[in-house]
Amino acid sequence: MKKIIIHRLLTALTTLVLANSAVATDVLRLSGYGPVSRSMGGTAVAHYTGPAGMMVNPATLSLAPEGYTFSGGLDIITADISNQSKVDGSRAVTSDHSSNRGPYYAPEFGIIFQQDKLTMGVGAYALGGLGTEYGTDSFLSDDVNGDPTGLDNSSRLLVMNIPFAVSYQFSDNFSVGGSVDAMWAGMNLNLLLTTAQIGGLAAGGNVSGSLVGPLLGMSPTAAHISFTKNNFIDSGASAWGVGARVGAIWQPQESTTVGFSYNFPSELGDLSGYADLTAVIAGPNPVISGEITVKDFQMPGVLTIGVSHNITPDWLLAVDLSRVYWADVLKDIKTSFSSAAGNLDLNFPQNYKDQSVFGIGTSYKVNKLTLRAGYRYATSGIDGDFMFSTLPVNPTRHISAGFGYQLSEDSNIDFSYTYAVTEKTHNDQVLNTPEPMVNSHSQDNVSITYSVNF
């Protein structure tokens, strides 16, 4: 394992220098954890960002004040996503059609305890996710003949982490930390596939099962799969699993900190739940109910190195470089539908690519107020021709700002606002979309926490 991490460190350094242009930022992962990190371009590996630091580099917990530190808050995310057909210019725009999707709320909570050289902590944070809601009357809900089906296209993915972290300060300038995480992932999906899309998937060997023959015998113009729960967090298909990360910080001088962390790939179980499969035919649409499994859906390993430097006692500058190993975990989205009538296996090609991510942030303290700003950029996670309209991962650039205010000697509030700059992605392959189209995606994120030391 040590050789793998060293090899990846060298690979990341080389690739970050030679990185190409991008079409996604952090893909399914959030661009930072907690408002301190988020407002500073997602940087967190080499400076103290509060208890949320256990989500990136647990060793930074050694920089916390003695005693207990509690932090609790909320992430609020809204997205502006639209798809425009290259055939006739029709548009499908995501919006809020139910309590299931948008705005998206993700809670964050952490408590740490430091005594002497040992720091321990536990928390609950959203690791990542996405969501769309296109309703039932856009061109995404039309069958192969362009006729409306009235069937929904929507999605929601939420991945939560519950880290149990520990950090130990071996000397005045060197600390090592690690965490073991309980993880939960939940997915909702309503997806219409035209027979042209199904044919393209079948040609690549991505459709199989005993239901294929009976469905084709109905001469459908489309098929619709639905597994969703219309509530705050619970999802149509979900699973528990584990994750882990290790990290270290080193201070070559009092004003400078160098950080390193490696987040191991997740070990989630297969997401499972109940689903409906609908065949769109000339007449009443038959619906088959059964069980759905999303196989081997995992979050990737992440290697991060960074440095922070106090230009003055009140002015901090931080830079992080990350390599995110998506290619190891998301070659295909593999689904299996099983019912009393038979089974249907669908594999959706994704061919995700490893990402390089650059984050830079700064903070400046003026009395009780700390002002923060940052920028984040990443290379491509997926080629446009493999993109789903219901799983958009487009934004490449995040611009962020925020502040912290000391309410009392022992408590403070932190706030951040992040804007994901509008990005357009072209999908010209009729496989994961019903027709060639252009996807446009921007995003707004607000994060706020209250922290107290005692």
CA distance linking residue 94 with residue 79, whole number of Å: 8
Q: What's the average model confidence in pLDDT over 340-361?
A: 92
What single DSSP character describes residue 162? E
Highest mean pLDDT among 356-365, 393-402, 438-447: 356-365
Work out the average pLDDT over 209-237: 88
Q: How many residues does the chain have?
A: 454
The tens digit of pLDDT for each residue in 182-193 reads: 999 999 999 999
**223 and 196 Cβ atoms separated by less than 8 Å:** no
Quick one: pLDDT at residue 1? 52
Backbone angles phi, psi at 431, to 5 degrees: -140, -65
pLDDT at site 19: 33
pLDDT band, residue 385 (cuts 50/70/90)? confident
Q: Identify which has the larger pLDDT, 394 or 144.
A: 144
Q: How far apart are CA 342 and CA 214, in angstroms?
A: 9
pLDDT for 342 equals 93
The pLDDT of 349-358, averaged and rounded, is 90
pLDDT at residue 351, as a whole number:
85
Q: Is the pLDDT of residue 236 over 60?
A: yes
> Is the pLDDT score of 317 beyond 70?
yes
pLDDT at 42: 95
Q: Is 331 left (phi over 0), alpha (psi -120 to 50) or beta?
A: alpha
Sequence-ordered strand ranges (E) for 270-301: 271-280, 287-295
Residue 11 has pLDDT above 80, yes or no: no
Cα–Cα dist 134/391, whole Å:
12
Residues 6+ apart with CB under 8 A from 116: none
* Listed residue (223, 194, 221, 196) closest to 209, CA to CA: 223
69 pLDDT above the threshold of 60: yes
Q: How far apart are CA 381 and CA 27, in angstroms?
A: 6
Percent of the chain with pLDDT over 70: 91
Please check whether residue 335 is in contact with residue 345, taking contact to mean a CB–CB distance below 8 angstroms. yes
pTM here?
Answer: 0.88
Beta-carbon contacts of 218 under 8 Å, excluding residues fewer than 6 positions away, are 279, 281, 286
Give the SS3 label for residue 449: strand
Mean pLDDT of 38-59: 97
Angle, vertex CA 403, rays to CA 399 and CA 406, nearest 5: 165
Tell me which residue has tokens 């809020």: 96
| pLDDT score recorded for residue 388 | 74
Average pLDDT over residues 292-296: 95
Give yes or no for residue 449 having a pLDDT over 70.
yes
- Mean pLDDT in residue range 170-181: 97
Reference 157, options 109, 207, 227; nearest CA is 227
Of 204 and 23, the one with more pLDDT: 204
Residue 100 above 60 pLDDT?
no
- Strands 154-171 and 118-133 come out as antiparallel
pLDDT at position 16 is: 36
Residues 6 or more apart whose Cβ sits within 8 Å of residue 384 = 23, 425, 426, 427, 428, 439
Domains defined for the chain, CATH in brackets: 2-453 (2.40.160.60)
C-alpha pair distances (Å), 102 with each of 16, 157, 177, 318, 449: 34, 12, 36, 32, 21
Q: Omega into 103 within 30° of 0, i.e. cis?
A: yes
| Other CB atoms within 10 A of residue 451 CB | 23
CB of 122 within 8 A of CB of 109? no
Q: What is the C-alpha separation between 334 and 207, in angstroms, rounded?
A: 10
> Residue 226 half-sphere exposure, CB side, CA atoms within 13 Å?
17
Distance CA 386, CA 27 (A): 13
Confidence category of residue 79, pLDDT binned at 50, 70, 90:
confident
Whether the per-residue pLDDT at 228 is higher than 70: the answer is yes
**In the predicted model, what is the mean pLDDT of residues 58-81?**
91
The mean pLDDT value of the chain amounts to 88
Q: Are 140 and 389 in contact (CB under 8 A)?
A: yes
CA–CA distances in Å: residue 154 to residues 80, 124, 140, 289, 319: 14, 26, 10, 19, 36
Tell me the average pLDDT across 314-321. 98
Across the range 366-383, mean pLDDT stands at 91
The model's pLDDT over 249-260, given as tens digits with 9 standing for 90+, comes to: 999 999 999 999
Q: Quick one: average pLDDT of 325-329?
A: 93
- What's at 400, amino acid-wise? S
What is the average pLDDT across 169-193?
A: 95
pLDDT at 170: 96
User: Can you tell me the mean pLDDT for 206-226?
Assistant: 92
**Residue whose token pair is 């999303």:** 294
pLDDT at residue 340 in the model: 93
Query: What one-character-per-residue DSSP string does 49-63 give?
Result: -SGGGGGT-GGGGGG
Q: What pLDDT does 184 receive? A: 95
Residue 102: pLDDT band (50, 70, 90) is low
Mean pLDDT of 52-76: 95
**Does residue 384 register a pLDDT over 80?**
no
Q: Is the dihedral of CA 149, 132, 442, 80 positive or negative?
A: positive
Give the start-end residues of each E strand in 313-410: 315-324, 332-339, 342-349, 355-366, 369-378, 397-406
Instruction: Name the least confident of 20-29, 151-160, 244-253, 389-398.
Output: 20-29
Do 49 and 402 meet the contact criterion of CB atoms below 8 Å apart?
no
- What is the token pair recorded at 356? 């390089």
Confidence of residue 15 (pLDDT cuts 50, 70, 90): very low
